[in-house]
Amino acid sequence: MPYITKISSQKNNEERVNIFLDEKYAFSVDLDILVKFDLRKGKELDELDVIEIQYGDDIRKGFNKALDYLSYRMRSTKEVKDHLKKKGVPDSAVTEIIHMLNEYQYLDDREFAAAYVSTHRKTSGKGPDVLYRELRIKGVDDNIIQEALGSFTFSEQVETAVKHAGKVVKKGKKLSSKETKQAIEQQLIRKGFSFDVISAALLETDYENEHDAEREALYKQGEKAMRRYSYDGSYETKMKVKQYLFRKGFSIDMIDQFLDEKG
C-alpha cells in the first residue's frame, strides 16, 4: 500500500500543499483537508482513501469559490450552482456545497428575492412583471417570488409608474397628445407594470398638450412629413402628409388647418 513520503507547500498558494506517495506527486489538498484527514509522512493510503480525500478537497475548494462569489452581492441558489459548475466543480460536490451554504445561512432564496425586489424597484424602477421574469431566470421558486412581490404595493407601483410617465412627457415635446399617451403605455409595459397600474398612472399624469403646444407639435411633425414625401402641394403628396399626421394622433381639423396654411 502506498504511503506519504513528502508534504510540501505550494509556492503560489500557502493554503494548499502537495502530497507525494512513494516519492511521486499524487495530489494537492487544502490545509483544512490536511488536518481533517490527518495526512502526515508515513501514513498509508489506499485507493478509496485517496478518492475520499480528493472529494473532500473538491468540496473545500468549491466552498471557497462559492464564498468568494457571494462576497460581491447576494445570489440565488441557482446562480451559485451555475457558477460552481462553470468553475469545474463536480456535480456531487456542488450538491454538498449548496447544503453547507444553506446550513451556514450564506444562501437563502427567500431573503434574496425580497432584497432583489426592494433594490431593483427603487434603483431601476422595474415593475412586478419584469422582476418576476428576472427572478424566475435566477431559479427562484414561484411562491417565493410572489411573496417578495407582495411588498410592492399597488400605490407604490403607481407612484413609480408616474415617475416613468413624467420622463416620457418631458421627452415627447414634439409628439401629439395621443402619441405621448401611447409612448407612456409602451414604456410602462416594458418596465413590467400591469394595465391597472398603467391606467392609474395615466390618470395622474398630465400628458395632454395645450392647444398651442399641440399645434406646435403638429407643425414640427408636418414639416418633417413634407420633407419626407417631397410635398409640392399636389393632391397625392397632401394626402400622404395628411395620413402621416393622422397616424401620429393629430385631429383632422388641425391637420386641415395646417395644410391650408401650407397651400
Cell of 119: 433594490
Could you tell me which residues come within 8 angstroms of residue 152 by beta carbon, excluding any fewer than 6 positions away?
117, 121, 128, 131
Look up residue 250 and give its DSSP letter.
Answer: -
CATH fold of the domain at 109-149:
Arc Repressor Mutant, subunit A (1.10.10)
Amino acid at the residue 256: D
Cell of 241: 402628409
Q: What is the pLDDT of residue 48?
A: 93
Q: What CATH number does domain 211-262 carry, 1.20.120, 1.10.10, 3.40.50, 1.20.1050? A: 1.10.10
CATH fold of the domain at 157-203:
Arc Repressor Mutant, subunit A (1.10.10)
Q: What is the pLDDT of residue 220?
A: 82
The CATH class that applies to domain 4-103 reads: mainly alpha
Q: What is the pLDDT of residue 210?
A: 58
Helices marked H in 73-176 = 77-86, 91-103, 109-123, 128-137, 142-149, 154-171
Q: What is the pLDDT of residue 239?
A: 81
Quick one: how many helices (H) and strands (E) in the chain? Answer: 13, 3
CA 57 from centroid of its chain's CA atoms? 33
Could you tell me if 45 and 53 are in contact, meaning their C-beta atoms sit under 8 angstroms apart?
yes
The C-alpha atoms of residue 172 and residue 206 are separated, in whole angstroms, by 12
Reference 212, options 183, 167, 173; nearest CA is 173
Q: What is the pLDDT of residue 261?
A: 76
Look up residue 44 and give its DSSP letter.
Answer: B
Could you tell me if 76 and 109 are in contact, meaning their C-beta atoms sit under 8 angstroms apart?
yes
Burial class of residue 92 in the structure, from the number of CB atoms within 10 Å of its CB (0-12 exposed, 13-18 middle, 19+ buried) = exposed
The C-alpha atoms of residue 71 and residue 74 are separated, in whole angstroms, by 8
Query: Residue 177: helix, strand or coil by DSSP?
Result: helix
Q: What is the pLDDT of residue 172?
A: 65
- CATH topology match: 4-103 vs 211-262: yes
Q: What is the pLDDT of residue 136?
A: 97
What does the domain layout of the chain look like in residue ranges?
A: 4-103, 109-149, 157-203, 211-262
Q: What is the pLDDT along the chain (263 residues), one digit of tens a residue?
A: 898 999 998 888 888 999 999 989 998 988 989 998 999 999 999 889 999 999 999 999 999 999 999 999 999 999 999 999 999 999 989 999 999 999 999 999 999 999 999 999 989 999 999 999 999 999 999 999 999 999 999 999 999 999 999 999 888 667 777 888 899 999 999 999 999 999 999 998 887 765 566 777 777 888 888 888 888 888 888 788 778 888 777 877 777 777 777 76
Q: What is the pLDDT of residue 209?
A: 66
Could you tell me if 75 and 107 are in contact, meaning their C-beta atoms sit under 8 angstroms apart?
yes
Q: Any idea of the CA torsion for 55, 57, 60, 61, to the nearest 10 degrees? A: -110
H-helix or E-strand spanning residue 23:
none
The C-alpha atoms of residue 180 and residue 173 are separated, in whole angstroms, by 9
Could you tell me if 56 and 67 are in contact, meaning their C-beta atoms sit under 8 angstroms apart?
no
H-helix or E-strand spanning residue 237:
helix 235-247
